[in-house]
Amino acid sequence: MNDAVQRASDALLKAQKIAIFAHISPDGDTLGCVLALTHALKKLGKEVIPCAADGVPHGLKWLPGAEWIQQTSERRDFDLAVVCDAGALNRVGTSLLPIVESAPLLIDIDHHVVLGDTFGDIQVLDSKAAATAELIYTQIRSLEASTGQALMDAEIAECLLTGIITDTGSFMFANVRPETLLLASQLQQEGAVPAKICEQVYTNHTYASQKLLACALNSLQLSPNGKVAWAFLTGKDFEEFNAVDSDSDGIVNHVRDIQGVSIGLLFREIPGKKIRVNLRGREGVAVNEIAAVFGGGGHRLAAGCSLDPPLNEAIERIIAVAVQHLEEKALPL
């Protein structure tokens, strides 16, 4: 990977106009990476546009530089495009894909296990990393080595530690490595404050998000074998509470956290869009394989995909694949 990191640094330093992309339904890792790299490249005098098709969710609007994020752009004159933490190119969103494809050079920086075709002229990939933020940290340090300019600061550290904390469930998930904890310690020394990040991410919910949680839990169901749990939110739920998609962040974890459940699913009927599905699994279950059946992707234990409406048919299709997946793995209760 060292060679890929160096080639990425060379490309970033050569380019002047750079667009950086998060994935749809952005989380703390993809946005933390996009903003950390944006901060670093702006210090180097680059013209940088960070993009996220779904914008910045309420719980992450406090991130340094979040106001820079654009949901779309008419520009097609970028020298270089960088996609962070997407898993697959189409996960940047249909509105942003033409911008990515118009750039003459594409860098993919990611820690997802690629189930389909890889993308990008330069690929900085490491499936062992707990978060793509680990790779962005390495990339920024490489830029420092190449230029002799100090780039890391408290704002960048805060963005990167947010990525690590959110993608490890505050260091609760099995993806945490000794290297992850060492890097978190280093970022704290650089000025990031874990308590602040956790408070903003986990205890700063909107009223609408709590009402959606109640709706979702009221719809909660279990498969006959008790291994698959699911809940759903209808378009009417979102409209009633004037809620947006990001208000549903984290609800799927409540679904997965039922005793005996191996797979938790949340179906969101966003008005005017496809049915979006969050998948969460316990150790031993690769929910990204289920998401891949429907053109989605993600981590082994956390993934997502989108299906065409109606909602009830989308639920039936996903549940059938999830149950079959568990039967093939022969997982015990």
Q: Residues of CATH 3.90.1640.10 domain(s) within the chain?
A: 2-202
CB-CB neighbours of 135 under 10 Å: 24
pLDDT tens-digit series, residues 47-66: 999 999 999 998 899 999 99
Split at pLDDT 50, 70, 90, the class of 301 is confident
Q: What is the C-alpha to C-alpha distance for residues 162 and 156, in angstroms, rounded to an integer?
A: 10
List strands edge to edge, sheet with 221-222.
221-222, 228-233, 263-269, 275-281, 302-307, 297-298
pLDDT for the residue numbered 50 = 98
3-class DSSP state for residue 94?
Answer: coil
What pLDDT was estimated at residue 146?
Answer: 97
Residue type for 323, please? V
What's the mean per-residue pLDDT of the chain?
A: 94
Per-residue tokens: 250: 């984290």
The tens digit of pLDDT for each residue in 89-119 reads 998 999 999 999 999 999 999 998 665 567 9
CATH architecture of 207-329: Roll (3.10)
- pTM of the full predicted structure? 0.86
Distance CA 163, CA 130 (A): 9
Q: Is the pLDDT of residue 122 over 50?
A: yes
Fold of the CATH domain 2-202: inorganic pyrophosphatase (n-terminal core) (3.90.1640)
pLDDT at residue 245, as a whole number: 87
The structure tokens listed for 156 are: 């960048």
- What is residue 282's three-state secondary structure? coil
pLDDT, one tens digit per residue, over 159-173 is 999 999 999 999 988
Residue 112, pLDDT score: 85
Domain with CATH 3.10.310.30 in the chain: 207-329
220-253 confidence digits (pLDDT tens):
999 999 999 999 999 999 999 999 888 998 999 9
- Ranges 28-37, 111-120, 269-278: which has the least confidence: 111-120
> What DSSP character marks residue 126?
-
87 pLDDT tier (thresholds 50, 70, 90): confident
